[in-house]
Amino acid sequence: MSRGAQAHHSLSRALTRALLPWIAMLWVATSAAVGWYMQHELFEQLDAGLVESAERLLDLAAHDARNHQHPSERDGTLYRLEVPHSNLRGANHDVLLYQVVNERNELLLRSADAPLTSLPLPLKTGFFDTPSLRTYTLAHPTLPMFIHVGDPLAHRSAARTETLVSLLVPLLVILPLLGLLIRAVTQRVLAPAGLLAAELQQRDGHHLAPLPGQGLPVELQTIVDSTNHLLHRLSDALDTERALAANAAHELRTPLAAMRLNLQTALGHVPTGAAQTDIQSALQSLERLSRRNEKLLQLSRAESAAALAQDRINLGQLAAAVAQEFWSDGTLLQRLQLVLPENDDVWVRGDFDALAIALRNLIENAVRYAPHGPIVLEVTLPATCRVRDFGPGLATGQIGPLQRRHQRNGHKADALHQTGYGLGLSIVTTIMERQGGSCVLQSPPPGCQTGLQASLHLRPDR
């Protein structure tokens, strides 16, 4: 599952959204097909009811004609008796009507809800439609008599509509439940993929352990095997790179010390002049190279998390020990100020030497970029150490790039003669990541007009 940007949808949600419209369309298409079939069957049954009703009613009308020879004056029909039909199959009083007529289409008999005038229909056996009725006409085999039996087309349309509604309305209830069911099933089926995604999110340049592959489907197992192979190769490459940097920096220590000794010896034997100036310049360059070599060693150790301990450390004592190193320089004795909590000790978890390297780099940066004014080293509860200077500070856009290696004051540091090499803050950031803390830069510090504040947030020891 995606844990970063929440705008990214999970695979389970995507499958649910993709399947539901297709299921709804399939349901609607199936309902339409079933509705068409049921309409066809319903109309056949209604037509069969018209035929059956016509046959029975025509027999009754013929019997009435033989027993009543005098016309009725009650409503203009020729016969007095109105044949009851409420008990005939398909002869519902609300939907079925009939008329009995002679060969001249004169009305002989009718149902109570039939028109008072004969329907304009052909006098032959068969089905016929009017704008409002579906009718069936049946001719008597011996008498000059015909019967028109019909039911309203509106009744058939209403029956068709009721059928479609009965098929589609459940969709409104079933579709949300089906969406929840699909979501639950896909989440359960895709749970191994979610666990695999969580494991992948934990992998970075400092955590390249193989992914667990137990109980995974075949498709995911292939991905895990390929990823583990890639992680193994990447881990080997990073180990080789770190070992190369550490070994190179370590091997350079002795030659650099020998060169410094030789240059210092030569400086004592060369008279004042151009040669002595050149030797002094060479010594300064050698000193810068030695500092850079030391930074490389620090960075190599910081990136190798195996050597970092997780001891219980008094952060105030750590800050005091680092400050004491800088107070040995007379120019920093008055500038570097140590601020500690008055009544409480601040205890944290970490590696004493690694955290000392981080603090030392922050103070060196402050000395380098704020050559005048105070530098404050402050320890605060619950587990924070801050280095604050009042120099020119940084622009907002420079703070992020500054914490990457070989970035100096927001710009590339690629010249040997520059004051810094862009490794200090990278070392601090790496150490804090290994110690489970963070380094936060603010420019200017809160309540100040200029300057830079670096805050180390560590893990408190409770």
Distance CA 420, CA 57 (A): 113
Cα 456 from chain centre = 32
Using CA atoms in the order 89, 94, 96, 98, what is the torsion angle rounded to 10 degrees?
120
SS3 content of the chain, % helix, strand, coil (to 5): 55, 15, 30
pLDDT band at 244 (very low <50, low <70, confident <90, very high): low
The residues, any chain, with a CB within 8 Å of residue 390's CB and separated by 6 or more, are 370, 373, 374, 448, 450, 451
Whether 417 shows a pLDDT value over 50: the answer reads no
CB 156 within 8 A of CB 134: yes
Q: Is 376 helix (H, G, I), strand (E, B) or coil?
A: strand
Tens-digit pLDDT profile for residues 113-134: 888 888 888 998 999 988 888 9
Domains of the chain (ranges, CATH numbers):
11-163 (3.30.450), 218-301 (1.10.287), 308-460 (3.30.565.10)
Distances (CA, A) of 51 to 40, 102, 117, 148, 279: 17, 19, 22, 10, 126
Question: Which of these ranges, 148-152, 189-193, 285-289, 439-443, has the smallest mean pLDDT?
Answer: 285-289
- Residue with the bigger pLDDT between 164 and 244: it is 164
Question: Which pLDDT value is given to residue 87?
Answer: 43
Question: Which pLDDT value is given to residue 293?
Answer: 64
Question: Which pLDDT value is given to residue 424?
Answer: 64
CB 100 within 8 A of CB 61: yes
Nearest Cα to Cα of residue 245 among 430, 400, 398 = 430
Cis amide bond preceding 374, omega within 30: no
**Residue 320 host element (H or E):** helix 315-327
Cis amide bond preceding 217, omega within 30: no
Question: Which of these ranges, 193-202, 329-338, 346-355, 386-395, has the smallest mean pLDDT?
Answer: 193-202
The residues, any chain, with a CB within 8 Å of residue 373's CB and separated by 6 or more, are 335, 389, 390, 391
* Percent of the chain clearing pLDDT 90 (strictly above): 11
Q: At what angle do helices 274-303 and 218-269 cross, to 10 degrees?
A: 160
Strand ranges in 345-451 using DSSP code E only, listed in sequence order: 347-350, 375-380, 384-389, 407-408, 411-412, 438-442
Question: Which of these ranges, 148-162, 238-252, 333-347, has the smallest mean pLDDT?
Answer: 238-252
Please report the sign of the dihedral spanned by the C-alpha atoms of residue 230, residue 234, residue 237, residue 243. Answer: negative
Cβ neighbours of 312 (radius 10 Å): 10
pLDDT band at 314 (very low <50, low <70, confident <90, very high): very high
Backbone angles phi, psi at 393, to 5 degrees: 75, -165
Whether 350 shows a pLDDT value over 50: the answer reads yes
Q: Which two tokens stand for residue 144?
A: 């000059």
Distance CA 136, CA 234 (A): 87
- Residue with the bigger pLDDT between 260 and 386: it is 386
212: Cα within 13 Å, side-chain hemisphere? 11
Whether 230 shows a pLDDT value over 80: the answer reads yes
Q: Is 119 helix (H, G, I), strand (E, B) or coil?
A: coil
Burial code (b: 16+ CB inside 10 Å, e: under 16) for 32-42 equals eeebeebbeee
Question: Which pLDDT value is given to residue 252?
Answer: 67
